[in-house]
Amino acid sequence: MNRSELTRICNLCGKRKPIIEFAKDRTKRQGYDYRCKACRRNQTYEYDRKRRALRKYFCLDCGIEISRMGRRCKSCAMKAKWREPEYHKQHLKALRKAWRSDNYRKQQSQNTTEAHVRGDFNGVYQSPTTPELAIMAILGEMNIKYEFNTFTLGSYTYDFYLPQHAALIEYDGAYWHSLAKAKRNDAIKDQLALQNALMLIRISPPLGHDFNHGKLKGILEDALSTKRSCRPAQGGAVCILQLGGPP
């Protein structure tokens, strides 16, 4: 009898199928597995799935349980990457290159405009940035009361208002304030501050927010106490505090 004409009943599905649909197995009496190939494949898959469900994996750094096999969770894996000097160097290099690209700046400006239209910021950034948090800490050390993102002149909002010193502080990020529109708005803010007899301190950092805490505190104290290096006009003054050039 031809082998293709032989049949066998599968012990799992109970169907009679041609013998060619059963895998060969020399340990069995008839030389074939008691399961058809389809049922054997499904049974193996279910067994592996149940076994994987019972496995537990933990992050090597923080110890939390992770969903799949690996050494670290996503957060710890990214932190580990940033601890590698070469990765950190290359990543910052790529960011600096992007910041200097006109197309990238236009896209970022468009994204921010769309976010304002959606109402994500309501015209003002509600949460302080890392440099602004540093300025807050310094003002706290100097026991200076301030208002953050609430003081306005006309339709323009300033980063910090210091009532005791009749002064304003603006943090000019290296990226946003290099745009043409931001420069026009900054000029208008300067003029409004001068017209209202307020000292405006502009802090211009190096690219990437790499500034020194002690140096920033020192020049703020110097500007508020003596108003040195400020440009007076109509009872007000504009201070440009340059914390360093681009790297």
The per-residue pLDDT for range 7-34, each reduced to its tens digit, is 889 988 999 998 889 888 888 888 889 8
Helix (H) or strand (E) holding 36: strand 32-36
pLDDT in tens, 177-229: 777 888 899 999 988 988 888 888 888 765 444 456 777 788 788 777 755 44
Q: What average pLDDT score do residues 94-118 get? A: 77
- The pLDDT > 90 percentage for the chain reads 10
Question: Residue 94 pLDDT more than 60?
Answer: yes
pLDDT greater than 90 at residue 246: no
In a domain, 193, yes or no: yes
Say how many domains are in the chain.
3
pLDDT over 60 (residue 236): no
| Same domain assignment for residues 163 and 219 | yes
Q: Does the residue 91 lie in any domain?
A: yes
The yes-or-no verdict on residue 39 having pLDDT over 90 is yes
Same domain, 112 and 137: no
Residue 171 sits in the same domain as residue 208: yes
Q: Are 73 and 62 in contact (CB under 8 A)?
A: yes
Cα(101)–Cα(109) distance, integer angstroms: 12
pLDDT at 38: 92
Q: Domain range spanning residue 150?
A: 130-242
The answer on 136 and 94 residing in a single domain is: no
Q: Let me know if 193 is exposed, middle or buried by CB neighbors in 10 A (0-12, 13-18, 19+).
A: buried
pLDDT for res 214:
77
Kindly report the three-state secondary structure assignment for every residue of 118-137.
HCCCCCCCCCCCHHHHHHHH
Of 75-84, 126-135, 226-235, the least confident = 226-235
pLDDT reported for residue 175: 66
| DSSP single-letter state for residue 165 | G
Whether 247 is in a domain gets the answer no
| Per-residue pLDDT tens digits for 141-163 | 888 999 988 888 988 889 999 99
Give the dihedral sign, CA 135/136/141/147: positive
- Asked if residue 215 belongs to a domain, the reply is yes
Q: Quick check: 137 and 212 in contact, CB under 8 A?
A: no
Please say if the pLDDT value at position 55 is more than 80: no
Q: What is the pLDDT of residue 178?
A: 73
What pLDDT was estimated at residue 105?
76
Residues 96 and 134 reside in one and the same domain:
no
pLDDT of residue 61: 83
Residues 183 and 158 in one domain: yes
CATH number (domain holding residue 36): 3.30.60
Average pLDDT along the chain: 78
Q: Choose one of 35, 54, 73: the last residue of a domain.
A: 54
Confidence check: pLDDT of 125 > 60: no
